[in-house]
Structure 1
Amino acid sequence: MTLILGMLLDALLGEPRWLWSRVPHPAVLMGRLIGWCDTRFNGGTHPKQSGILTVLGLCAGAGLLGWGLKALPGVVVDVMVLAMLLAQKSLAQHVSAVADALRLSLGDGRQAVAMIVGRDTRAMDGSAVARGAIESAAENLSDGVIAPIFWFAVGGLPGLLIYKVVNTADSMIGYRTPRHAAFGWAAARLDDLLNLIPARLTAAVIWAVTSRPGPAAILRDAPLHRSPNAGWPEAAMAHGIDVALSGPRSYDGQTQDYPFVNPEGQHQLTLDHIDQSVAVLWRSWAVAFGLAIIATLLW
């Protein structure tokens, strides 16, 4: 019942601005803690070992906090924490905002997509803006919705909080930059491990709600992606709405010649494709919600 209520609360309320403008969101608090750890421990002659110990400490702290919250009577706390750490409605809103901005102008579209992607956006054309929004929809459906649901189902609040702190750490220090290549190694590798099953579950759910093409196409194209996990939901989304995703893009002024996922799909993406991806997000949520109801009835 907790999972059902948490998913419903997130889908209905999302991230209410009136609340999070007054108090810091739990993900913000995690980010501040990770930033402090980066400043405090990322140095010396053994940054990789320091990074491993940091991630272990973050996981232990998150797990203990989860166990403490779980010990509180009733289900209200569990439901509230789960709803706060799911991102279904906010993800759909952010992706839809890119389409709404593009309807105004290309410049507005670039500004909107810059809120949800890390690549350079100033030179993007409309198709590239749409591609960035759709890729973010697919990847964050896995990271922000399916994976938290999965780890809550497996490990309750401790599992959920451990997943979220590792995922947040990966987004902050899990990059192969001179500063973080060694220190962030453990965060990146553990995030890969924790997303191994959820990413593939997400691909299966997207395939189920789009019903095209056969799974063989997803299996073929997922490894083309630079990420061992993000390629799965992106490949499923690319085939599901018949577009080419990934491909060349620029980071910090440097063009990266990544291959396309579903290269036979449409390369000129439009507002309609963004709208289709948002519809896929909600249909995927509906499938996950139905599975949560079945699991609750069985257990």
Structure 2
Amino acid sequence: MTHLRYDVPLRGSSLSLGRTPLVMGILNVTPDSFSDGGSYSTIETALAQARSMVAEGADILDIGGESTRPGSDPVPVQQELDRVMPVLDALAASGSQTPVSIDTSKALVADQAVQAGASIINDVRGLQHDPEIAAVAAHHGAPVIIMHWDTERDTARDLIDEMKRWLDISIAIATQAGIAREKIILDPGFGFAKSLAENYALLRRLDELHALGFPLLVGTSRKSMLGKLLDVPPAERVAATVATTTIGYLKGGHIFRVHDVRENRDALRVAAATLYGPNGGSTENG
């Protein structure tokens, strides 16, 4: 398929989304994330990982201070701030020019993070958890990533139809708060309140979400949909992640949120070259 083109404004720049896929590197500064919990819990290790991902081709860094793995405990606002703010401050002090998204569902964390240099607010609860987070994004002019996570979905109804219905609610919250439509990115929420079969149906039918009219972020990296299928731990799910990333791109995905930047970047370059030619997928959008 031909990739739809979007330009998402950032402070002083923009994300040009189309043929050229963008890679978002995951930087969890948490002790309990399912794949890398505790690995980057100091400023030094977090900065080193950030530099490594940028060197491997990350276009965006996604920093999160609260795990959303199944069974994880909620994190108080101050604890989440204590985890993410020193890393954001250190990145700013280092002179990093790579756009940063803050992975949070809390308005206060989002507000402080954007003031510290984050460009994007990535809300896994789709602006439906903290009623103030959309207002924070609008106030700062920050783009939002709206993820689908509907724990009350009617599983007897069509998966994609139900996702569109729930996402329409989040989109309405965003626009009513004053967030411009060009600053909205959708994440279908692989692994969140979806069965194993539903995750693969979603990947197969991902292109149906283009009807909503927004760029798509695909986040399948090392997730249980791969582990349950292959019966392997998170560290051994890299090749499987690359497969889902490639399929997601072929289905029209724009941004790919991953732990393993180089492997996914290489796969995406091959996929883009296959669709658009060796130059069309890496040097131009459309």
Q: Give the TM bin, normalised by the shorter chain.
A: under 0.3
Structure with larger Rg = 1
Higher strand share: 2
What is the TM-score when the length of structure 1 is the normalising length?
0.26
What is the TM-score when the length of structure 2 is the normalising length?
0.27
